[in-house]
A and B are shown apart, each in its own frame.
Chain A
Amino acid sequence: MKLELRAITKRFPGVIANDNVNLTLNTGEVLALIGENGAGKSTLMSVLYGMYKPDEGEILIDDVAQVFSSPADAIAAGIGMVHQHFMLVPVFTVAENVVLGVEPTGRFGKLHIDEARKMVREISVKYNLDLDPDAIIEDLPVGVQQRVEIVKVLLRDAKVVVFDEPTAVLTPNEIVEFFEIVNTLVKAGRGVVFITHKLKEALSVANRIAVLRRGKVVGEADPATASESEIAEMMVGRPVQLTVEKKSAHAGEVVLSVSDLTVIDADGRTHVEGVSFSVHAGEIVGVAGVQGNGQTELVEALTGLRKAAGGTITLDGKDLTHSNPRERHHMGMAHIPEDRQRQGLVGGLSVAENLVLTRYHDDQFSHGLVVNWDAANLVADSLITEYDIRTPSKETGAGTLSGGNQQKVIVARELSRDLRLTIAAQPTRGVDVGSIEYIHSRIVKERDAGTAVLIVSTELDEVMALSDRLLVMYRGKVVAELDPKKVSPMEVGLYMAGSRPDGVVQK
């Protein structure tokens, strides 16, 4: 089956999300669609999947023009989509999830679950997916859940499978397995569209790479010959520094000291168990780990958003285990939170207001109970310039900025004062390449100024590039302390998955 998008244009009020986009996908081919956030990848795929109607242009399958007015039409035409956020019912079994919507039924609508199980088993064997049809979804690791999504798509007889950022939630080892599945699909004659912003992955799995920038296809690249920096330049429109440039660290005195920290939530589940480590002035300590292994709770405990059930946290020797976030703020702790939309910003407030969200009560910005907005606006203006925040004005709602610029607002706010400790969680999640480069350089600059820095990220490349020391978290414990210069990503990946390079599986 040959899929062709011809001169697709999709406009939204004020923006052209897709501008005259042409793409073709042949049978047995992997096309990587790469571009920054807001480049129009998602819009294009929504057009393909029948969720948006294009303003101009057409979709052709085997040279026949198609009109999709809903995803059902697209599925019927042989297009399947695996979304970044899985659409599974957690308490149902694999078989039940797979047949949801196309249930094999008998008289009076009786569900033939045996038939469903058989179908799952057949597809699982054919594509080497190794799925148990009776397993409950919520018990399965994310990588396996993704395979359930793939089976769903295959069961509906998709000739073209679209993956939307499929590796975002996977461990390095799961990513390797995922690529094998993609290869099996291609060998079986299916076409694959692979949407990503990760250059390495596009290079390693695709037959062709199409680069999208500001709604247009700005070029195609051949993975056999193209280099990462060439593609990055196409994505951003200017040369980009991909590696983090930093001198070796000059670690000073201990700033943050955590000993035997335990965090238990309201339901009695232990998220962090007996964690001890320290961060020195002038060094960056990275915490790697697959999402959901206690990093979020660790950061919340360190920043005062969650109570510690046991252990102590000290900053410059002062015990702050029971201090609230504001007291920690005044002791020189900065916090770049992992979810900027939910925590880091108030989208409905202006950029200027967000730039003082954690600081409006500092003497600099307030006289007693009155906020000195003149001072705040002055600082906002200089921060917008200094941190190159692209916003129409400081009065603009922060929620309307792009992800990268929102993150710059947070970074500017948190780093623009005298600090002792900076805690950054997922500092570049969903941020464009250009902004990643900038945020990384600010963090390194902060370290060089003598601040202790703790980076928590599920992007292994990021923690390895930034850290001077690397901790790996697995099931709430720190299972390894490594020198990022001396280990390979695969080795770290093994720790992240709970095993050790020597093969011993940890409990």
Chain B
Amino acid sequence: MKRVFNALGERLNRISSLKLTLLAVLTALIIGALIIVASDVDNLQNGDILGALSTVGSAYWALVVGSFGSLRAISNTINSSTPLILCGVSVAIAFKAGLFNIGATGQMLAGGMTALWVGFAMDGPGIIQVPLAIIAGAVGGAVFGAIPGVLKARTGAHEVITTIMLNNIMAFLILWLLKTDLFQREDRTDPISKLVSTQGRLPRLFGFLDGRADLIAHIGFIVAIGAVLAYWWFLKYSSTGFEFRAYGLNADAATYAGMHVKRLTVLSMTFAGGFAGLAGAAEVLGTYGYASQNFAGNIGFDAIAIALLGQSTPLGTLIAAILFGALQAGGRQMQTNSDVPIDLIIVLRALIVMFIAAPLLVKTIWRTKNASITVGQSFRGWGS
């Protein structure tokens, strides 16, 4: 018996960071189960532990069914995942260059607005208008993302501060824009935009299935997958991608090697803004068809967790974003089926992020002694 445990210990010691990520998710699910049990007052009062456990079972089962159990569930998961993937790549590409992009929300709003403008201002055939609007979204996000990059390169202003502030600036700028004659819907007094013309809407992914209006997923998902592929290619083959990686891992070595690190700072934030801008375009042109004051919601911040969870790799970010999207889609089903509030999803996500950020905690819980592995994304701290 002891041998078995020792062998197990040995195995866990050599645990890879991937396993650690999976363990973090597992730990979060276990703690989530404990929370469900603890909040299942009816069963607990009757001393019915089995009943409480079955609540856990039905809640988690509903999560699975609600996210992947039917075509409709899959469509919902895809729809929730699309902006998360794009913003996840946005945060990840900045992480790769050692920068912390907290501004995905603002960049997404900026991209959404430029895409929207092309979306309703033009009335051409979809085949021309849709790509144009998507590109406009990327450009809008990129320009807005470049601002903190330039500020950092020129003055050393820390991107964490500037991106947070720019999020606020964008939030109020949108409020104003939505009240202008250019954007505001004619018959409305609240800040809500005109509708994107039918031609300008992103085609639905499952549009070929007649009569299934409930399948809301749109081709923004294809754009998101394309973005992940582009990100992968960029890191693996392009010389700028190589510079990003070197700069992110060791800024002194990058400088020594003759890389133009200020240019890299601006470029990485520009690219990050571009991807977040695509997310804005996908939401406005695909999911909603118009812009409201907070169409970006919490996506820009969830994206930070996603990039951390996926360790900023293309595949990892994609999987993490789909996981978060699935939790979102499945959470609604869980609420209906088992009376467990959808807020549990927020708790689960927070727990996952916490365990990813604190690898030592996971190692202690799972008795993986050695501290030689690190996970998560490093970025340069203050004053650098």
Contact = CB atoms under 8 A, between A and B. Distances in A.
Interface of A: 12-13, 303-305, 324-326, 328-329, 335, 337, 342-349, 353, 357-358, 360-361, 366, 369-371, 373
Q: How large is the interface on B (under 10, 10 to 19, 20 to 34, 35 or more residues)?
A: 20 to 34
A356 to B, nearest CB: 9
Interface string B244-275: 01100110111111111000000000000000
B239 A349 contact: no
Contacts of A370: 237-239
B18 to A, nearest CB: 16
Contact of B249 (A329, A348, A366): A348
A347 B254 CA distance: 12
A13 B253 contact: no
B256 A348 contact: no
Contacts of B250: 342, 345-348
Contacts of B257: 325, 357-358
A347 B249 contact: yes
B253 A369 contact: no
A304 to B, nearest CB: 8
A369 B239 CA distance: 5
A336 to B, nearest CB: 10
B258 A324 contact: yes
Chain B interface mostly helix, strand, loop or mixed?
helix
Contact of B258 (A326, A345, A346): A326
Contacts of A12: 370, 372
B13 interface: yes
A349 B248 CA distance: 11
Interface in B1-36: 10, 13-14
Contact of A369 (B10, B238, B254, B370): B238
Contact of A357 (B13, B238, B246): B246
A444 B372 CA distance: 39
Nearest to A14: B14
A344 B256 contact: yes
Contacts of A13: 10, 13-14, 370, 372
Given A13-B14, A13-B372, A357-B257, A349 B238 contact: no
A343 B252 contact: yes
A57 B9 CA distance: 22
Contacts of B246: 346, 349, 353, 357
Interface string B230-246: 00000001111010011
Contacts of A346: 245-246, 249-250, 253-254
Contacts of B253: 342-346, 357
B242 A353 contact: yes
Contacts of B14: 13
A342 B252 contact: yes
Contacts of A366: 239
Contacts of B256: 303, 305, 325, 335, 337, 343-344, 358
B239 A360 contact: yes
A201 to B, nearest CB: 32
**9 nearest CB pairs, A to B:** A326-B258, A325-B258, A348-B249, A343-B256, A346-B250, A358-B257, A346-B249, A357-B257, A346-B253
Contacts of B370: 12-13
Contacts of A329: 258
A371 B239 contact: yes
Nearest to A345: B253
Nearest to B245: A349
11 contacts: A12-B372, A305-B256, A325-B256, A343-B252, A343-B256, A345-B253, A346-B249, A346-B254, A357-B253, A358-B257, A371-B238
Contacts of B259: 326
A414 to B, nearest CB: 11
A305 B255 contact: yes
B384 to A, nearest CB: 13
A329 B238 CA distance: 21
Contacts of B260: 324, 326
A346 B248 CA distance: 10
B309 to A, nearest CB: 19
Contacts of A371: 237-239, 242
Nearest to A358: B257
Nearest to B256: A343
A366 B259 CA distance: 15
A360 B242 contact: yes
Contacts of A373: 237
Contacts of B249: 346-349
A415 B256 CA distance: 16
Interface in B169-227: none
Contacts of A326: 258-260
Contacts of A324: 258, 260
Nearest to B233: A370
Given A342-B252, A343-B252, A343-B256, 5 more contacts: A325-B256, A342-B253, A358-B257, A358-B258, A370-B237
A357 B258 CA distance: 9
Contacts of B242: 353, 360, 371
A345 B253 CA distance: 6
- The interface centre, meaning the residue of B249, B250, B260 with most chain A CB atoms within 10 A of its CB, is B250
Contact of A361 (B10, B13, B237, B239): B239
A363 to B, nearest CB: 12
B371 to A, nearest CB: 11
A360 B237 CA distance: 11
A373 B245 CA distance: 15
B174 to A, nearest CB: 35
Nearest to A326: B258
Nearest to B13: A13
Contacts of B254: 346
A158 B250 CA distance: 41
A349 B245 CA distance: 8
- The interface centre, meaning the residue of A337, A366, A370 with most chain B CB atoms within 10 A of its CB, is A370
A343 B257 CA distance: 8
B89 to A, nearest CB: 19
Contacts of A358: 256-258
Nearest to B248: A348
Nearest to B372: A13
A21 to B, nearest CB: 22
A343 B252 CA distance: 5
Contacts of A304: 258
A47 B313 CA distance: 39
- The interface centre, meaning the residue of B240, B253, B370 with most chain A CB atoms within 10 A of its CB, is B253
Contacts of B372: 12-13
A329 B259 CA distance: 11
Contacts of B10: 13
B145 to A, nearest CB: 20
A373 B233 CA distance: 13
A300 to B, nearest CB: 9
- The interface centre, meaning the residue of B10, B245, B254, B258 with most chain A CB atoms within 10 A of its CB, is B258
Nearest to B14: A13
A282 B14 CA distance: 50
A45 B365 CA distance: 31
A200 B304 CA distance: 55
A320 to B, nearest CB: 13
A259 to B, nearest CB: 24
Nearest to B239: A371
- The interface centre, meaning the residue of B10, B252, B254, B260 with most chain A CB atoms within 10 A of its CB, is B252
Interface in B327-384: 370, 372
Nearest to B249: A348
